[in-house]
Amino acid sequence: MSEPRVITLREALREAMVEEMERDDAIFLMGEEVGHYNGAYKVSEGMLERFGERRVIDTPIAETGFAGVGIGAAMIGLRPIIEFMTWNFSLTAYDQIVNNAAKLRYMANGQFTLPIVFRGPGGAAHALGAQHSQALESLYAHVPGLKVVVPSTPADGKGLLKASIRDDNPVCFFESETMYALKGQVPEGEHLIPLGVADVKRQGRDVTLVTWGKMVHSSLKAADTLAEEGVEVEVLDLRTIRPLDVEALLESVRRTKRCLVVQEGWPFAGVAAEIITLVTQEAFDWLDAPPERVTNLDVPMPYARTLEDEVLPSAERIAAAVRRMLGREAEPVRPAAAVAR
């Protein structure tokens, strides 16, 4: 039986990679600064020393190149972990991930499997400006053939990363700079969380907050505030966006009769819109209020703190949306997307 102990998300992710690499020689880690520098965010600290240059591979700044190398290596049986220093840089490899990784198996009629994990931090991390603050999971979740995973706790980080590494499909795994130091209980040794299983992070009866990643914590904070007002919020952490745990989502929403999706990232054509479509179609008769979303404002990320705070979903904005859905807000606050137009 594994003993829980408290470690950071950074350590939990490292532990997942180390344990899997100890188990299977076909797994290697490749990316910028992952080896001798010990990782731009120290996730891979010590791994070069442990596994050597054959399996912990520093790359030049060439995302298209090393993402493609990972895909080619996976085609003939290796299981690469490709680290993007941040997901913002993955956009220079978008062609590799979308045109090649996502489509190979389908185009080749199932002749190939592509067990590859693309991972790194995404989302805003305080005053990094427009090109370094993007939450891009909606962009990747759009593409059939990719799995999209976004952990919110150290334990989930370990369990989901191990499952992603063992998955035979390409997986986009989104971490967060601001969460790497987050501490939590994490089981030692074998700890797997299957992809496609959501997790109720807080139980409640009045409204379901559907969320993932960093926004789980903003949602929990909003739930604390609302509890003082007598509102019991359920926080459903999707954990994986593809595959989506439709069953858990609908079960919760049908029970609470209200659905608010909290998503970091732009509203237009985002994951929140997809979830609201699903809820509207499949749980319409149960709903007591129109499903809503709280997202980034529909603008590139500004640098100044006052502006950045305005853009990102906050616990206050989430709580306000819940109050509005429950008819407790006198002054209706327009959703972000409507304001942007």
| 108 vs 307, beta carbon nearer other proteins | 108
Q: Which residues contact 192 (CB under 8 A, 6 or more apart)?
A: 159, 162, 163, 166
Amino acid at 96: Q
Asked whether position 95 contacts other proteins by CB under 8 A, the answer is: yes
Asked whether position 66 contacts other proteins by CB under 8 A, the answer is: yes
| 109 vs 281, beta carbon nearer other proteins | 109
The CA distance from 184 to 111, in Å, is 41
Stretch that binds other proteins, among 35-43, 100-108, 245-253, 308-316 (CB under 8 A): 100-108
| 123 vs 196, beta carbon nearer other proteins | 196
DSSP for 293-306?
A: EE---SSPPPSSHH
Question: Residue 115 Cβ, how far from other proteins at the closest point, in Å?
Answer: 9
The CA distance from 219 to 303, in Å, is 24
| 12 vs 172, beta carbon nearer other proteins | 172
Asked whether position 78 contacts other proteins by CB under 8 A, the answer is: yes
Active site residue 329: no
- The answer to whether 81 touches 165, Cβ cutoff 8 Å, is yes
Question: Residue 81 Cβ, how far from other proteins at the closest point, in Å?
Answer: 14
The CA distance from 222 to 314, in Å, is 8
Stretch that binds other proteins, among 44-52, 91-99, 121-129, 227-235 (CB under 8 A): 91-99
Single out the residue of 59, 138, 153, 263 in contact with other proteins (rule: CB under 8 A): 59
Active site residue 15: no
Asked whether position 75 contacts other proteins by CB under 8 A, the answer is: yes
Asked whether position 90 contacts other proteins by CB under 8 A, the answer is: no
Tell me which of 63, 137, 292, 308 is the catalytic residue. Answer: 63
Taking CB under 8 A as the criterion, which residues in 104-133 touch other proteins? 104-113
Two tokens, residue 184: 């939590």
The CA distance from 340 to 335, in Å, is 9
> Residue holding tokens 């505030």?
225
Asked whether position 71 contacts other proteins by CB under 8 A, the answer is: yes
Alpha helix ranges (H) inside the chain: 9-23, 47-51, 63-75, 94, 104-107, 137-141, 154-166, 215-228, 246-256, 271-282, 305-311, 315-325, 336-340
| 27 vs 248, beta carbon nearer other proteins | 27
Asked whether position 169 contacts other proteins by CB under 8 A, the answer is: yes
Closest CA to 62 of 42, 41, 85, 39: 85
Q: What are residue 56's DSSP bridge partners?
A: 29
In the complex, which residues of this chain contact other proteins (CB under 8 A)?
Answer: 28, 54, 59-60, 62, 64-78, 95-96, 99-100, 104-113, 144-145, 147, 167-169
Active site residues: 63, 132
